Structure 1
Amino acid sequence: MSRPVALITGSAHRIGAVTARTLHAAGYDLALHYRRSRAELDALVAELEAARAGSTLILQADLAEFDRLPEMVARTIGRFDRLDALVNNASGFIPTPIGSATPAQWDVLFASNARAPLFLAQAAAPHLAARGGAIVNMTDIYAERPLAGHTIYCMAKAALLMATRSLAIELGPDVRVNAVSPGAILWPQNPGEHAPDAAAQAEKLARTPLRRTGTPAEVAEAVRWLLQDASYCTGQVLYLDGGRMLAG
């Protein structure tokens, strides 16, 4: 029998790459999406192929281009003839302080954080249903606790959170849909993202009961658990925030 197959968006680095390694080690073959980070994805694919030949498919796409979304699903089916899991990991994160926020920023943030996950889920749903599959969306504690200067990002993640719950109703009982909501895991590092300074980082951790950042491996294991083991769990959000939601 063929192995289960997962499609992961934004898989070239950071949490996406660790999630890919975790699912691959758990027995999944992988369709790995990237937008621009080809060198990083090539290195990841070489690593995974060395462990199990023929286990990966590379998908390049700008998730803002609607037609590319069903194409990604179709290419995955064409290669592996099945789809068991969709991990909507890709995410845009830029500051949009009120007074200077633009419609272009709205489009960018909603495209990756809300629109693409919904329409990928729609395209994948029949194939996932055939396998009793599952979807995991990567939300954020800021979907429920606003972050100053990032109103549009928070709104987009809130939309994804509601999509998770709504899709769980629409796609059940054949497809489970859940979300992981990380807190402080990796500090922003891409151009245009606003990384907190050392004092702000310390302040955030002081409001986190576990008093540390989480790790990408902890997030990836949560994704794996929701896909493989959480058989009676749908429409739920798994908060991976060290307890920070409790402290506000």
Structure 2
Amino acid sequence: MNQQINEPIKVALITGAARRIGAEIARQLHQRGLNIVIHCRQSTGDADTLRHSLNQQRPDSCQVVQADLSDNQQVIELAQQAKDCFGRLDVLINNASSFYPTPIGEGSEAQWDDLFASNAKAPFFLSQALAPELTKRGGSIVNICDIHADKPLGQHTIYCMAKAANVMLTQSLAKELAPDVRVNGVSPGAILWPEQEAELEPQGQQKILRQIPLARTGKPHNIATTVTFLALDNDYITGQIIPVDGGRSLGH
């Protein structure tokens, strides 16, 4: 544990932290001595399992808050509940994200609203609601962006637009909240293959692997260590987006 004796324990809120990359971010920040607020929408069982695991390692160090990020009132309530969990908040990780294809001719307004809600709207309003607390604590925000905010992914126009908005949110907040709050982003490449309606066939996975200079997928650990670095380890970085993609964003 990195906190000095009598130094207040810092607190991090990670959205979408019950599973996959969000859960690994929660584990790494917890290992660094932070108390953790896990946000989830539907994955309450996974969230409770992770909470129990972290609390076994360090009692009363993790809590779960459930909220639908497409409901702005719930987003505002999430901000307050997250502060109430441990009486402070120092780090916000906007990780939760909807991801699925919306081919031209098939995209719907409901899909637009859903993809923009988790990837752009909720991160903005959650950051706005928590800005006074983060300013008071000298805190930081890390947004999980995407390499496809810069180079679009076929048949994912709405998602890519939403992630491009997420990148601009990161850069804009970095200016507006300076010098008290640092805001950065991490853009994952092929870390975990998509699930459910966005799932890729094996040939699609192989096509992506051929575009990666390191010729392999990354691991959630690769994202979590970069998030931890930006949130805790270097207080002179703000407004930056770091690709963690095995070189894929270099192009063919």
Do both share a fold (TM > 0.5)?
Answer: yes
Q: CA deviation at 1:197?
A: 1.7
Mapped contact 2:37–2:85 kept (Cα < 8 A): no
Cα deviations across residues 140-165 of structure 1 (Å, max 9, x unaligned)?
01111111111000000000000000
Q: CA deviation at 1:207?
A: 1.4
Residue in 2 that maps onto 1:235 = 239
**Structure 2: tracts of 5 or more residues without a match:** 1-6
Mapped contact 2:146–2:189 kept (Cα < 8 A): yes
Residue in 1 that maps onto 2:224 = 220
Residue in 1 that maps onto 2:191 = 185
Query: What amino acid sits opposite 1:41 in the alignment?
Result: A
SS across alignment from 1:213: coil
Counting only pairs closer than 5 Å after superposition, residues 68-217 of structure 1 correspond to structure 2 as: 68-189=74-195, 191-193=196-198, 195-217=199-221
Residue in 2 that maps onto 1:29 = 35
Q: CA deviation at 1:202?
A: 1.4
Q: CA deviation at 1:68?
A: 1.4
Following superposition, which runs of at least 4 residues in structure 1 exceed 2 angstroms of deviation? none
Q: CA deviation at 1:76?
A: 2.1
Cα deviations across residues 181-235 of structure 1 (Å, max 9, x unaligned)?
000000011x322x22222211211111111101001100100000001211100
Residue in 1 that maps onto 2:17 = 11
Note the aligned Cα RMSD (angstroms): 0.9
Cα deviations across residues 92-112 of structure 1 (Å, max 9, x unaligned)?
011100001111100000000
Q: State how far apart, in whole Å, the 2-side matches of 1:23 and 1:136 are.
A: 13
Residue in 1 that maps onto 2:4 = none
Q: CA deviation at 1:119?
A: 0.5
SS across alignment from 1:192: helix
Query: Normalised by the size of structure 1, how large is the TM-score?
Result: 0.97
Q: CA deviation at 1:73?
A: 1.7
Q: Is 1:48 aligned with 2:54?
A: yes
Q: State how far apart, in whole Å, the 2-side matches of 1:188 and 1:160 are.
A: 20
Mapped contact 2:79–2:129 kept (Cα < 8 A): yes
Query: Normalised by the size of structure 2, how large is the TM-score?
Result: 0.96
Cα deviations across residues 111-136 of structure 1 (Å, max 9, x unaligned)?
00000000100011111111111000
Q: State how far apart, in whole Å, the 2-side matches of 1:64 and 1:222 are.
A: 27
Residue in 2 that maps onto 1:38 = 44
**Greater CA drift, 68-77 or 107-116:** 68-77
When the two structures are aligned, how many residues end up with a matched partner? Answer: 246
**Structure 1: tracts of 5 or more residues without a match:** none
Q: State how far apart, in whole Å, the 1-side matches of 2:78 and 2:59 are.
A: 21
Q: State how far apart, in whole Å, the 2-side matches of 1:86 and 1:169 are.
A: 17
Q: CA deviation at 1:172?
A: 0.4
Q: State how far apart, in whole Å, the 1-side matches of 2:79 and 2:113 are.
A: 23
Q: State how far apart, in whole Å, the 1-side matches of 2:57 and 2:63 are.
A: 15
